[in-house]
Each structure stands twice: as structure tokens, then as C-alpha cells.
Amino acid sequence: MNGNNRENIKVGLKVNIVLKQDQRSGTLTEGVVKNILTKSPKHSHGIKVRLESGEVGRVKEIIE
């Protein structure tokens, strides 16, 4: 499942995000969603979230 729709993303889900500094390389960071930061229902580059580790990025794929 991709992370472009806000309705697919819930607090506690395990996801892969791309951090701002990794956007060029496309390196993914795995973590658990702590907060959903994007207010709109959809975003073409992925919904922005904060992980429990404190890292912020856009969801590229939902793992669980």
C-alpha cells in the first residue's frame, strides 16, 4: 500500500519513509508512526509523518 492517502495511515503503523535529506537518493527509513503531520486527505509525494524515533518524512510504503 502506498502512503499518498491519509486514510491509509494510522498512528502505530509500521512504515517506510523518505527523509528530506534522502529525497535525491530515495533511501528509505523504517519506523512506527507517532504523528500524522499532513492535514490534506491526499498528497502526491506521500503523507508527512513523525516516527517514534523523532524522524520526519513522507510515507513511501506501508509495511503493517
Q: In CATH, what number is assigned to the domain containing residue 51? A: 2.30.30
How does residue 37 score in pLDDT terms, banded at 50, 70 and 90? very high
| Residue 8: strand, helix, or coil | helix
d(C-alpha 56, C-alpha 10), whole Å = 15
User: Quick check: is 1 in a domain?
Assistant: no
Q: How far is CA 36 from the centre of its chain?
A: 8
pLDDT higher than threshold 80 for residue 18 = yes
User: Quick check: is 11 in a domain?
Assistant: yes
User: Quick check: is 43 in a domain?
Assistant: yes
Number of separate helices (H) and strands (E) present in the chain: 0, 4
User: Quick check: is 49 in a domain?
Assistant: yes
pTM for the predicted model, two decimal places: 0.91
| Residue 58: strand, helix, or coil | strand
User: Quick check: is 30 in a domain?
Assistant: yes
* Structural domain range at position 11: 6-62
Number of domains in the chain: 1
Average pLDDT, the chain: 95
